[in-house]
Structure 1
């Protein structure tokens, strides 16, 4: 990448602030040895981990519990050719009913579910970049 290519790296604090301002991102994980991407609504918890709610029996839960995954969110304006993208990489863990507070504080799923669980993705590595426009 050229030094003056329109992209600017973002620090961790800026990345987390931007993530907190959007409702939807994408979980990137491995399913049957192939890459998979799933859009989900989410929120950040107090320690800046990503929280998402899904069905306990979903393919996503079976594939990511205990695995290292990536989570990406972005926002772009095609008219100005500007925007940002943030990637969080970390271990995904399931929070069960014993994790009471987190279950109440997590996001509501946009999909109805009776057996929902929360997934936490630790924000071990947070990177981002901003496109400043043409």
Structure 2
């Protein structure tokens, strides 16, 4: 990736302070992803893109989400032995006032967690945000992890310009 593609500066009337976009490495992207509780899973439904907000946890390089039996993603990954489903997972933390923050996108393969011990562990540590039984866990195995930070172009004149 070229330096220009890795770091871009945004200016104009909607951006009173110049910004730059800086790529983050895979490990840092996973750390950032693990620092927030919710993201969006993107998959194909009836040959069209579908997006669902879900809470998650990061386990090593994998993203784990929970789902219920009637969910489209559950149906696509069941029964066990079905081919893995290509998905994207995105999470971010961008300040609405300063427009500074980060975004991470994981693209990979989703499959039901079928190992009983693993499933029991995920059901114990990852709690659904809706009062609905969610007896399934889905593991997203990343093939590609991309992340970037939105930073001030010049922090020397911006007080408290640091971001998490």
For normalisation by structure 1, the TM-score amounts to 0.87
The size of the alignment, in residue pairs, is 132
Gaps (5+ residues) in structure 2?
10-19, 79-83, 154-164
Moved runs in structure 1, 4+ residues, more than 3 A?
1-4
Aligned to 1:37: 51
- Counterparts of 1:94 and 1:43 in 2: how far apart (Å)? 15
- Name the SS of the counterpart of 1:121 in structure 2: strand
The alpha carbon displacement at 1:109 in A equals 1.2
- Counterparts of 2:34 and 2:8 in 1: how far apart (Å)? 28
Q: In 2, are the aligned partners of 1:103 and 1:117 still within 8 Å (CA)? A: no
Alignment CA distance shift 1:61-1:17 (3 Å): same
Gaps (5+ residues) in structure 1?
none
The alpha carbon displacement at 1:103 in A equals 3.0
RMSD of the alignment, in Å? 1.9
Matched, 1:100 2:113: no
Deviation digits for residues 91-132 of structure 1 (CA, Å, limit 9, x no counterpart): 100013x43234323511112333510000002211101110
Deviation digits for residues 23-80 of structure 1 (CA, Å, limit 9, x no counterpart): 00000110000011100000011x3200011102212212456211000000001221
The structure with the largest alpha-carbon Rg is: 2
Q: In 1, are the aligned partners of 2:89 and 2:105 still within 8 Å (CA)? A: yes
Aligned to 1:62: 75
Q: In 2, are the aligned partners of 1:15 and 1:86 still within 8 Å (CA)? A: yes
Which stretch of structure 1 is more off in the superposition, 98-107 or 75-84?
A: 98-107
- Name the SS of the counterpart of 1:52 in structure 2: strand
Q: In 1, are the aligned partners of 2:128 and 2:134 still within 8 Å (CA)? A: no
The alpha carbon displacement at 1:13 in A equals 0.9
Which stretch of structure 1 is more off in the superposition, 104-113 or 16-25?
A: 104-113
